[in-house]
């Protein structure tokens, strides 16, 4: 028994951000598995089968993809952004871990532009120095580990990208995170809400940690919180740029 | 006076990882500014001017690009990987900050696949959970801030991607970083050295924090150090996969 699965990153949404590798991997697949709205972005041929799902039950979706591959189908599992960043790659390997016969499969991962990179490109250069990425979802981890990581990120003075900041099931987590960070970081720290970058309804809001309004965040929002070095470069008649210089403190 | 600069990420090296936006931005430029080996990857037309530089003096290179733009040239500043991640975007905005007249320029950033994503794609899914990126270069920041961030990253139990781990000028920093991390993290923590991923001479080495050999790292190496949850999935006759599951601890 053998099988083949490509785990493919489609990027944030716009076709100009989808790599040639990802495009080729989708074209080479007989079966495409993924969250419905991601499949809707693709122009599949009549001979290709789409298997849309909701945005939960990732492990079941991964098992389903591997089962199709075991049947000899050429399977692509698609994620928005980068499949290795809070997306399907980990779920597929977790499913493989459960079933030794799947370890013989040929698994390829096609990376993609992830939400924090798209947001950073629009904002200027907020990730210009050391940074970290934290998912605020506590579906799969205790909130205590999120708090531990937020505190460590603040104490390490990292730029922080917050993924999955809010959902209907947990609307208060963004506010909780801001409250924790305000205990460690300066109120003047630059903050950006980047919503749906590269898709319809894109919007960018610049503010500070002291004034950041948690209600601006939904599941399509990526939040960037600066380090002590991050600043806004103001412009006449245009949105300021958000920049974290390469140098720290006095170094130039 | 007005001007136009595109800050373009070429990805790690392979053409299949360069976005259509990046390809179009290079094609639209009259003048391409960047580190020589990155320019060598591009097939420029006879009417395009290449301005190669060494891999230092980023701020001077940024000023040069902005000066060309002020003269009415259509300038692309190219970086390997993502220009927003330890690359040219921050330098261009720092140069803009020095000269108010440059704030009127039209500056576009084209994101790209960065080294840690390319490495993760080859390794499996090591960034499957919260992670951080730290440059070990202390050209522009004091080593004390690197140590502070390594300690915070370990205490927050992040997966850690180390950029710029070594150079001839600072060969001992990788060893210093491993020694610090060994004081906080388990010796069995999975570690990967990912060298030149997507380019000639690509190599991947899996080891553990307890056994990691600093001399495996050079400037073309990206090092990934797991969290407490990261593990290897062993395979017969093939390199193990390195995976950080989406769930933390007992959660599934």
At A251, is the pLDDT very low, low, confident or very high (cuts 50, 70, 90)?
A: low
Buried b (16+ CB within 10 A) or exposed e, B186-206: eeebbbbbbbbbbeeebeebb
A152·B155 Cβ contact <8 A: yes
Contacts of A156 (CB under 8 A, 6+ apart): A130, A132, B132, B148, B149, B151, B152, B153, B156
Q: What tens digit of pLDDT does each residue of A52-90 get?
A: 998 778 999 999 999 999 999 999 999 999 999 999 999
How distant is the Cα of B48 from the closest Cα of chain A, in angstroms?
22
**pLDDT greater than 60 at residue A252:** no
With a pLDDT cut of 70, the percent of chain A lying above it is: 98
Q: What tens digit of pLDDT does each residue of B8-48 get?
A: 999 999 999 999 999 999 999 999 999 999 999 999 999 99
DSSP category for residue B172: T
Nearest CB partner across the interface for B156, out of A152, A241, A245: A152
Task: Provide the pLDDT for residue B1.
Answer: 57
Q: Which two tokens stand for residue A44?
A: 């599949």
B93·A124 Cβ contact <8 A: yes
Q: What tens digit of pLDDT does each residue of A6-31 get?
A: 999 999 999 999 999 999 999 999 99
B132·A131 Cβ contact <8 A: yes
Q: Calculate the CA A219 to chain-centre distance.
A: 11
Q: What tens digit of pLDDT does each residue of A108-134 get?
A: 999 999 999 999 999 999 999 999 999
CA distance A193 to A213: 10
User: What mean pLDDT comes out for the span B71-85?
Assistant: 97
User: What mean pLDDT comes out for the span B183-190?
Assistant: 98
SS3 for B26? helix
B93·A127 Cβ contact <8 A: no
Task: Provide the pLDDT for residue A170.
Answer: 76
Task: Provide the pLDDT for residue A1.
Answer: 57
Q: Which residue has the tokens 């903050």?
A: A191
How distant is the Cα of A90 from the closest Cα of chain B, in angstroms?
5
**pLDDT greater than 80 at residue A250:** no
Task: Provide the pLDDT for residue B166.
Answer: 84
At B201, is the pLDDT very low, low, confident or very high (cuts 50, 70, 90)?
A: very high
**Which range (A83-97, B128-142, B183-197) has the least confidence?**
B128-142
Contacts of B128 in chain A (CB under 8 A): 84, 86, 89-90, 93
Contact A65, A59 (CB under 8 A): no
- Whether the ipTM is more than 0.95: the answer is yes
Residue pairs between chains A and B whose CB atoms are closer than 8 Å: 253
Nearest CB partner across the interface for B94, out of A93, A152, A245: A245
CA distance readout (Å), A44 to A39, A232, B16, B67, B233:
9, 43, 20, 46, 33
Task: Provide the pLDDT for residue A168.
Answer: 75
Contact B224, B132 (CB under 8 A): no
For B62, the enclosing helix (H) or strand (E) is helix B58-70
B135·A130 Cβ contact <8 A: yes
Nearest CB partner across the interface for B125, out of A90, A149, A248: A90
How distant is the Cα of B102 from the closest Cα of chain A, in angstroms?
10
User: B140: closest CA among B171, B164, B123, B113?
Assistant: B164
B120·A111 Cβ contact <8 A: yes
Nearest CB partner across the interface for B89, out of A16, A128, A233: A128
Contacts of B139 in chain A (CB under 8 A): 251
Task: Provide the pLDDT for residue A210.
Answer: 98
Q: What tens digit of pLDDT does each residue of A205-239 get?
A: 999 999 999 999 998 999 999 999 999 999 999 99
A110·B121 Cβ contact <8 A: yes
CA distance A244 to B164: 18
Which residue from A minimizes the CA distance to B128? A90
pTM tops 0.90: yes
Nearest CB partner across the interface for A20, out of B15, B103, B235: B15
User: A26: closest CA among A119, A94, A112, A116?
Assistant: A112
**Which range (A135-149, A187-201, B8-22, B187-201) has the least confidence?**
A135-149
CA distance B130 to B227: 9
How distant is the Cα of B231 from the closest Cα of chain A, in angstroms?
10
What is the pLDDT of chain B when averaged over all its residues?
A: 95
For B91, the enclosing helix (H) or strand (E) is helix B88-98
How distant is the Cα of A217 from the closest Cα of chain B, in angstroms?
19
Beta pairing, strands B124-125 & A106-110: unpaired
For chain B, the straight-line distance linking the first and the last C-alpha, in angstroms and rounded, comes to 58
Contact A101, A3 (CB under 8 A): no
**pLDDT greater than 60 at residue B252:** no
């Amino acid at each position: 028994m053998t099988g083949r699965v490509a785990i493919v990153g489609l990027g944030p949404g716009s076709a100009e951000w989808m790599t040639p590798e990802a495009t080729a991997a989708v074209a080479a697949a007989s079966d495409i598995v993924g969250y419905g709205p991601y499949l809707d972005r693709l122009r599949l041929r009549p001979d290709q089968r789409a298997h849309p799902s909701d945005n939960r039950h990732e492990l079941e979706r991964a098992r389903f993809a591997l089962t199709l591959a075991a049947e000899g189908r050429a399977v692509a599992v698609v994620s928005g952004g980068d499949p290795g960043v809070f997306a399907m790659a980990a779920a597929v390997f977790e499913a493989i871990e459960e079933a030794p016969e799947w370890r013989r499969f040929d698994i390829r991962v096609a990376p993609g532009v992830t939400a924090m990179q798209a947001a950073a490109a629009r904002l200027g250069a907020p990730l210009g120095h050391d940074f970290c990425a934290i998912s605020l979802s506590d579906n799969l981890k205790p909130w205590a580990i999120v708090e531990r990581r937020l505190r460590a990120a603040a104490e390490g003075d990292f730029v922080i990208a917050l993924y999955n900041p809010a959902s209907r099931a947990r609307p208060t987590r963004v506010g909780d995170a801001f409250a924790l960070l305000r205990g460690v970081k300066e109120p003047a720290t630059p903050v950006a809400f980047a919503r749906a970058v590269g898709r319809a309804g894109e919007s960018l809001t610049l503010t500070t940690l002291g004034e950041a309004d948690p209600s601006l965040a939904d599941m399509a929002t990526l939040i960037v919180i600066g380090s002590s070095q991050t600043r806004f470069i103001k412009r006449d008649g245009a949105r300021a740029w958000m920049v974290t210089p390469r140098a720290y403190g006095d170094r130039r």
